[in-house]
Amino acid sequence: MKLDLLAIAAHPDDVELTCGGTLIKMARRGYKTGILDLTAGEMGTRGTPETRSKEAAKATKLLGVAWRGTLGVPDSDVQPSRQYKLELAGVIRELRPKTVILPYWQARHPDHYHASTLGYEGCFLAGLKQLPMEGEPHRPFKILYSTSYADVRPTFVVDITKEFEQRRKAILAFGSQFRPAKRAAKSKVFLAIDRLEDEMNQLARHFGQMIGVKYGEPFLTKELMQIEDVVAMPVRSI
């Protein structure tokens, strides 16, 4: 399968929370999109692995992605080891994405910043001819860093106003993380995803406002952006 866009993240639900709107928008444009979850999210505070995989399948459908897979890295122990880099390079060679979305390289959660390094180095290795592995060498053309979890000024923002409702549905598909069993309702366990969903919605609103639309998702590129037509540029200055 050949993908146009592949989003790589540490845990199932990271992609929905940080760049789900962009994936929906690109799928609606006719691009072939995909998601690679590095871990199965087995350290999540709620829900069994079976529930979580059902939830991820539901979210996947809502995002309109053509492919979703798990690399099988242990949750809470994401490391950019040689073994995982080679495994990831194998997936890149198979899917041949033109553009890859990675988490920003600085984060509070070690899984998130390690996912960024593992993703970048896996993409790099995939293009090495001499690599002792199957498949035609392939290196993605573009790497975008999703900065939704990071306190950093993005390079650009994608308008997701029309995709926002669908993105919400995809996030809420992870129901076991939102609706604890009665017995657990009074537990003081921190419900990360509840807070995250709320925060991500506020962030989408904030970054939308920054470009003069209702909702947006922020990204950063290491390289500069090239512009052909300075008269047709969007986003009002004054």
Q: Which residues bind Zn ion (CB under 5 A)?
A: 10-11, 14
Q: How far is the CB of 3 from Zn ion (least distance, A)?
A: 22
What dihedral do alpha carbons 113, 117, 118, 120 form, nearest 10°? 130
- Residue 112 or 168: the one with the smaller Cβ distance to Zn ion is 112
Q: How far is the CB of 227 from Zn ion (least distance, A)?
A: 33
Q: How far is the CB of 230 from Zn ion (least distance, A)?
A: 38
State phi, psi for 107 to the nearest 5 degrees: -160, 165
Q: How far is the CB of 112 from Zn ion (least distance, A)?
A: 6
- Chain centroid offset of residue 211 CA: 21
Cα 88 to Cα 8, 80, 187, 214: the distances in Å are: 10, 10, 37, 36
Q: Is residue 63 within 8 Å of 80, Cβ to Cβ?
A: no
Q: What's the rounded Cα separation, in Å, for the pair 207 and 177?
A: 26
- Residue 8 or 157: the one with the smaller Cβ distance to Zn ion is 8
**41, exposed or middle or buried, with CB in 10 Å at 0-12, 13-18, 19+?**
buried
Q: Which residue is nearest to Zn ion (CB)?
A: 11
Give kind and range of the element (H or E) at residue 21: helix 14-28
- Residue 85 or 114: the one with the smaller Cβ distance to Zn ion is 114
Q: What's the rounded Cα separation, in Å, for the pair 232 and 162?
A: 22
Q: How far is the CB of 72 from Zn ion (least distance, A)?
A: 16
- Residue 11 or 68: the one with the smaller Cβ distance to Zn ion is 11
- Residue 20 or 126: the one with the smaller Cβ distance to Zn ion is 20
Q: How far is the CB of 173 from Zn ion (least distance, A)?
A: 16
- Residue 11 or 167: the one with the smaller Cβ distance to Zn ion is 11
**237, exposed or middle or buried, with CB in 10 Å at 0-12, 13-18, 19+?**
exposed
